[in-house]
Structure 1
Amino acid sequence: MPIGIIGAGAVGQALAVRFLAAGERVVVSDSRDPQRSRALADALGPGLTAATVEEAAVEEIVVLAVPWRRLREAVRAAESSDWQERIVVDTTNPLGPGHTPAELGGRPSSEVVAGLLPGARLVKAFNTLPPALLGADPRTPAGRRVIFLSGDHPGANGRIAGLVRRAGWAAVDLGPLAGGGRLQQFPGGPLATLELILRPGAEALLS
């Protein structure tokens, strides 16, 4: 099945490029600028389809790749009151206007996101690297770039870890959102913006 991406900005475009390179099919949407998703489909060719947010949101795996300030707008555009069994990948970072930290009331940002998506199996991933690195070849001469992920549903974590590996990255599962989500969160988390490379032959360390 295709991977749905909500958001055709820098993060959405970077992930679309890497997923397509891995042989995945992608459905991408942008509620604020539908022309941007159509232009992306024209540029990247077969395998990527421009769609509405509602169409992207019905896929089994849905990637939320929108700025924090537009998160609720994007969820509303999906027109879904029940995300049951869908895996939603949260790439967001809680930044408000002027890149100031959003007020979360002491909660991890993924807890806020999960509250907007009843029934979803939420996985936090792809939020610790800038778009330029996300879109670049994850295989470097020194090894593979690491993608951190966390979530409360081991099966969902495993599905996304498999996607990460197929695309060429190294996957590091940090476990539940309460701990792992805070480690990844930007700003504040110690893993945010950290570019790690897994050396060849070091995969056994992640087993």
Structure 2
Amino acid sequence: MRIALLGGTGDIGQGLALRWAYDTDHEVVIGSRDPERARAMAEEYETELDSLGVSRSINGFANGMATERADVVVLAVPPFYVRDTVEAVADRLGEVDVLVTPAVGMDRAEDGFHYKPPKAGSVTELVAESVPEGVPVVGAFHNLSADRLANLKVELSQDTLLVGDDEDAKEMVRTLAEEIKGLRALDAGGIANAAEVESVTPLLINLALNNEGMHDVGVRFE
């Protein structure tokens, strides 16, 4: 399977790229608005994997080229870029099996981070409104610590919550998520539930900021 991470040079994109390259045999492709940056980061990821004894080829392209022939596209860009990114690659999304969005709208104030959803209700709903008709959208990976995800020497032991209206697409993302060792995917319902999932992220960041030893805090439901 070919997984394209648009914005794969950022924190969450880096973590997912490294984990899928380390734990699975899927083809991982890095996308960016700047193809040179995508290629440079892909080489850095290869070097890091090689240092751990894993030889993998990771390619970097402009976002549109990365999207072509991808089975799954992860929209690993900041929330204020999601609509523009979707529109920029819309003509390449027709054959994509599923578009995944982990973005969360937040503001930072003096007292911490606060959830700030777009007018659509959540970033996941915004993405679902922006994609071409027939492209299934799944919200996932919102509440993971990007630093912990990118540290391949650390076991995750965390959950990710999935929201989506297409059950087949959600099952595909569940399988991909659980191929990452230590990650469990739980079904949180349809896209209408995305705001409840996304709003957990600023809570976790505030916990990490205010409690010693909780820098990589995540969630695990028991």
Under TM normalisation by the shorter chain, which class is it?
A: 0.7 to 0.9
Q: Which amino acid aligns with 1:30?
A: S
Q: Of 29, 32, 36, which aligns to 1:30?
A: 32
Spell out, residue by residue over 1:84-106, the C-alpha distance to the aligned partner (whole angstroms, 9 max, x if none): 65300001112469877556336
Q: CA deviation at 1:117?
A: 0.5
Spell out, residue by residue over 1:78-127, the C-alpha distance to the aligned partner (whole angstroms, 9 max, x if none): 14276465300001112469877556336232111111112211110111
Q: How many residues align?
A: 193
Question: Unpaired runs of 5+ in structure 2?
Answer: 47-55, 205-216
Question: Counterparts in 2 of 1:28-67, with a 5 A limit?
Answer: 28-31=30-33, 33-45=34-46, 46-58=56-68, 59-67=70-78
Q: What is the TM-score with the length of structure 1 in the denominator?
A: 0.80
Q: Of 79, 93, 114, which aligns to 1:68?
A: 79
Name the structure 2 match of 1:205: none
Name the structure 1 match of 2:2: 2
More helix as a share of residues: 2
Q: Of 143, 148, 153, which aligns to 1:128?
A: 143
Name the structure 1 match of 2:173: 160
Name the structure 1 match of 2:207: none
CA 1:96/1:84 → structure 2, altered by over 3 Å: closer, same or farther? farther
Q: CA deviation at 1:191?
A: 9.0
- Is 1:112 matched with 2:126? yes
Q: Which amino acid aligns with 1:65?
A: A
Name the structure 2 match of 1:175: 189
CA 1:47/1:197 → structure 2, altered by over 3 Å: closer, same or farther? farther
Using the TM superposition, name which of 99-108 and 72-81 deviates more.
99-108
Name the structure 1 match of 2:13: 12
Secondary structure of the corresponding residue to residue 195 of structure 1:
coil
Matched residues, percent identical? 24
Secondary structure of the corresponding residue to residue 128 of structure 1:
coil
Q: CA deviation at 1:136?
A: 3.2
Name the structure 2 match of 1:80: 91
Secondary structure of the corresponding residue to residue 126 of structure 1:
coil
Q: Which amino acid aligns with 2:87?
A: R
Residues in 2 aligned to 1:174 and 1:93: alpha-carbon distance in whole angstroms: 16
Q: CA deviation at 1:3?
A: 0.2
Residues in 2 aligned to 1:171 and 1:50: alpha-carbon distance in whole angstroms: 27
CA 1:81/1:28 → structure 2, altered by over 3 Å: closer, same or farther? closer
CA 1:60/1:173 → structure 2, altered by over 3 Å: closer, same or farther? same
Residues in 2 aligned to 1:138 and 1:172: alpha-carbon distance in whole angstroms: 24
Residues in 1 aligned to 2:93 and 2:2: alpha-carbon distance in whole angstroms: 20
Question: Unpaired runs of 5+ in structure 1?
Answer: 203-207
Q: CA deviation at 1:48?
A: 1.1
